[in-house]
Amino acid sequence: MLKVINVVGARPNFMKVAPIVDAMRRRAAEFAPVVVHTGQHYDALMSEAFFRDLGLPRPDVHLEVGSGSHAQQTAAVMQRFEPVVLAEKPDWVLVVGDVNSTLACALVCSKLGVRVAHVEAGLRSRDRTMPEEINRVLTDQIADLLLTPSPDADRNLLAEGVPAERIRLVGNVMIDSLLKNLAVAERSKVREELNVAGRDYAVVTLHRPSNVDDAGVLRGILSALSELAKRMPVVFPIHPRTRKMLAEFGLGGRVESEGGLILTEPLGYLDFLRLYSGARLVLTDSGGIQEETTALGIPCLTLRENTERPVTVELGTNRVVGTDPARIIAEAEAALARPRATDETPRVPLWDGKTADRILDALAASSPR
């Protein structure tokens, strides 16, 4: 039996780890999962609600790291995670995504000689100003097993000199969570509560420092959202960081008074899935939402200058539009003019809801006999 520490640090990690832990519990004769929550997301709405919605067991260990600079957060995770690894003596530590906890835990294991598997390996934006890009590149260099979501990720790793025997194309585990929970999310009344049921509406998420920590950029995005809100309701679940910066820049009153812009607190996984799965258009600076909208055939505008998920652009569901208000408005109008997606929406190979079991098969195959 393989003991596997599954690390979660921030909200996007939860959707990736939940199906993996569920698969390990189904295959209890082969795997003994341990869940370690670093506490990188410490807000209850950003963390506890996701554990509940996704059916993740309560963490076996909670490091309670909280906020801080990138250096402070990374160092704190390393200091608190090392004793856990030494005590648990796992066969594998599984890290996911590209947050600070991902790199910090991989570094600890690399120094201790403990095998690390990286889920969602090989994604590249080619933008080294993004902290997530640094986390991705460094984690992939030291991980023992690189579990990739799409063929472009394999190509990236091979071009960087990673040996092919360390790479396994397994598919996108976030889509496992999406497909499993679509029907469950139908019980949510969030569309009715926000008065968008049966209507065309847009959903926006915004949290990246490059977008919300610059007053000029944030003001420009808000002006584009205001223009879009004249055409249809725009639902805006506000990330804690974004709310904080809106207040600091004196923009909170403007946003709250904007007609057609519907503000909410951060939503739990099932409520948010129910909300965006019925949207006519999604605008986001998140990576995972680009993938989820692609899987559902929902037009998505990525409010960034690049993406580490180019397959979503290749399929035509996602447009990388940057932060210029005029371009955002033009691309929104173009997306809304296109026919709605049908069941023939192209799908990415292996984004089929069975990635978690392929991950476990790769772990078993890569373990010493």
Backbone angles phi, psi at 229, to 5 degrees: -65, -15
Per the annotation, the verdict on 207 as an active-site residue is yes
Question: What are residue 264's DSSP bridge partners?
Answer: 237
Question: What are residue 4's DSSP bridge partners?
Answer: 33, 92
- For the range 46-50, what are the long-range contacts, defined as Cβ-Cβ under 8 Å and sequence gap of 24 or more? 46/11, 46/240, 46/266, 47/11, 47/14, 49/268, 49/269, 50/11, 50/14, 50/15, 50/268, 50/269
- Cβ pair 59, 36 in contact under 8 A: yes
Closest C-alpha among 237, 232, 208, 42 to residue 130 = 208
CA distance 226 to 209: 21
- Cβ pair 185, 273 in contact under 8 A: yes
Chain-centre distance for alpha carbon 191: 22
- Cβ pair 247, 179 in contact under 8 A: no
Of the listed 37, 41, 207, 239, which one is catalytic? 207
Q: Name the amino acid, one letter, at 72.
A: Q
Catalytic residues: 207
